Chains A and B, each alone.
Chain A
Amino acid sequence: MIARFSRLLKAAFTLTLFAVALAVGWNFWQGYMQTPWTRDGHVRADVVSIAPDVAGPVAAVLVSDNQTVEKGDVLVRIDPERFQIALDLADATLKDRSASLDQARRDAERYHRLKNGPAVSQQNIEQADLAVEQASAAYDEAKANRDLAALNLARTEVRAPVNGVVSNLSLNPGDYVSSGAGVLALIDTDTLRVEGYFEENQLPRIAVGDAVSVELMGHPQTLRGHVESIAAGIEDRERTNGSNLLANVTPTFSWVRLAQRVPVRVALDDVPAGTRLVAGLTATVSVHPRRGGGAPADASAAEPATARPAAVEPAG
């Protein structure tokens, strides 16, 4: 009897412990799976591809690689001679047209004065007025051409459109650059941010404005920020356009489906001093959903209805 009781007690002890373990383990697993976090995050910044507006040989490169520049700084100077000559030419034409216009005006005035005499016909007067108008139009044209030449000359100085850092500069004086072709990359440091690629099943627990902590790979400090926006769309990988513009949908047969990743943009609020934010760095991003703010961790069924509109509103 005693032996049997002791066996029961043993079983009860072990099973109780197992039950506790199950509860603790389940709680932990739920937390692990439901906390919106990802190791798949990256520091990102807008990169401006600087392209000269006019073509020509490079006269001077005024920046060095990885140099910080401010908006409006001259980065590259293209040989201005050709454009200076074009401006002189346009100036000369403008002068010519101006003189012609003056002469046409004087002629017209003369004809108008003789209007009542026998020597000038109505046709003469109209032709004189026409000449003034034509000369005036020609003058305006020359003026526009001169402005264009001045603009081209001004554009031989390639300026930084944003504050940033020059990157991957491999431009040398003497290189010939053509208009519209990028010659150097300028990383816009004002747009540095972190983008976390979150699994789609975590999205319901992420709302715009939620606090975010970011750990950069290998950096001991934690960066703080908040969710700025959530991407409104990602590519549908199962679908392409067929040859005659019909949908070509891949017939998938996958038992295991992987959650797709949706970029979530994080604005950084607090970057510890000494942290060097390099666009492209790997980051671990954790979102801390607001408690009681309509996104509790357990009410997963009710969430999409409450969380989605909040996420969509700012965009629409």
Chain B
Amino acid sequence: MIGDFSIFGVFVPRLLVLLLASYGVLLLLKKVLARLGVYRLVWHPALFDLSIFIILAATAANVAEWYPS
């Protein structure tokens, strides 16, 4: 999560990239979960999505910590 990520010479904070990637994963995951019918077991879907996103992002950041650059 610490450091820069080079996108064609533009250096952006790694955290920004991780957050965007997590959001992408979340969108995919939402489709899968909807297909599996998980949302029927959920109280507020938006709150559920937010929770999933936070967990995804934090996990991604922690995993990225083990693999420098």
How far is the CB of A38 from the nearest CB of chain B, in Å? 9
The reply on B35 being an interface residue by CB < 8 A is: no
Q: Is A229 an interface residue (CB 8 A)?
A: no
Whether the pair A18, B41 counts as a contact (CB closer than 8 A) is no
B24 within 8 A of A: no
The answer to whether B55 touches A284 (Cβ under 8 A) is no
A32 touches B61 (CB 8 A): yes
Range of interface residues on B (Cβ < 8 Å) = 20 to 34
Q: Identify which of B2, B52, B57 contacts A284 (C-beta below 8 A).
A: B2
Q: With both chains docked as a complex, state the minimum distance between the C-beta of B18 and any C-beta of chain A, in angstroms.
A: 10
In A15-43, the 8 Å CB interface with B consists of 15, 17-18, 20-22, 24-25, 27-28, 32, 35, 37, 39
Complexed CA–CA distance, A213 and B47 (Å)? 38
Interface residues in A, total, Cβ within 8 A: 28
Of A6-14, A200-208, A261-269, the one with at least 4 CB within 8 A of chain B: A6-14
Please give, as numbers and ranges, the residues of chain A lying within 8 Å of B52 by CB-CB distance. 17, 21
Of A97-105, A214-222, A237-245, A247-255, which stretch is located at the interface? A214-222
**Which chain A residues border B50 with CB–CB below 8 Å?**
18, 21
Contact B51 A17 (CB under 8 A): yes
Interface string of B1-13 (1 = CB under 8 A from A): 1111010000101
Given contacts A28-B57, A217-B4, contact A14 B68 (CB under 8 A): no
Taking a contact as CB atoms under 8 Å apart, the answer to whether B3 and A24 are in contact is: no
How near does chain B come to A16, taking the closest CB pair, in angstroms?
9
- Out of A24, A215, A220, A286, name the residue touching B54 (CB < 8 Å): A24
CA distance A17 to B13 in the complex (A): 28
Chain A residues with CB under 8 A of B61: 28, 32
Are the C-beta atoms of B3 and A39 separated by less than 8 Å? Answer: yes
Rounded to whole angstroms, the CA-CA distance of A35 and B62 in the bound complex is 13
The answer to whether A286 and B48 have CB atoms under 8 Å apart is no
Q: Would A25 and B43 be within 8 Å (CB), given that A17-B51, A284-B3 are in contact?
A: no
Interface contact A21-B54, CB-CB below 8 Å:
yes
B54 and A10 within 8 A (CB): no
Closest to A220 in B: B69
- Please tell me if B31 contacts chain A, counting CB pairs below 8 Å: no
Contact B54 A25 (CB under 8 A): yes
> Shortest Cβ distance from A5 into chain B, in angstroms?
13
- In the complex the two chains form, is B43's CB within 8 Å of A13's CB? yes
Interchain CB contact under 8 A, B44 and A20 = no
Cα distance, A203 to B48, chains bound together (Å) = 38
Among A34-60, those with CB < 8 Å from B are: 35, 37, 39
Task: Tell me, yes or no, whether B17 is within 8 Å of chain A by CB.
Answer: no
Q: Most B CB atoms within 10 A — which of A11, A21, A39? A: A21
- Contact status A21-B2, CB under 8 Å: no
**Interface contact A17-B68, CB-CB below 8 Å:** no
Top 7 nearest A-B pairs by Cβ distance? A21-B51, A28-B58, A14-B43, A21-B54, A25-B54, A11-B43, A10-B43
B contact residues vs A (CB 8 Å cutoff): 1-4, 6, 11, 13, 15, 41-44, 47-48, 50-52, 54-55, 57-59, 61-62, 68-69
- Add 6 more A-B contacts to A17-B48, A21-B54, A215-B4 (CB < 8 A): A14-B42, A18-B47, A28-B62, A39-B13, A217-B11, A286-B2
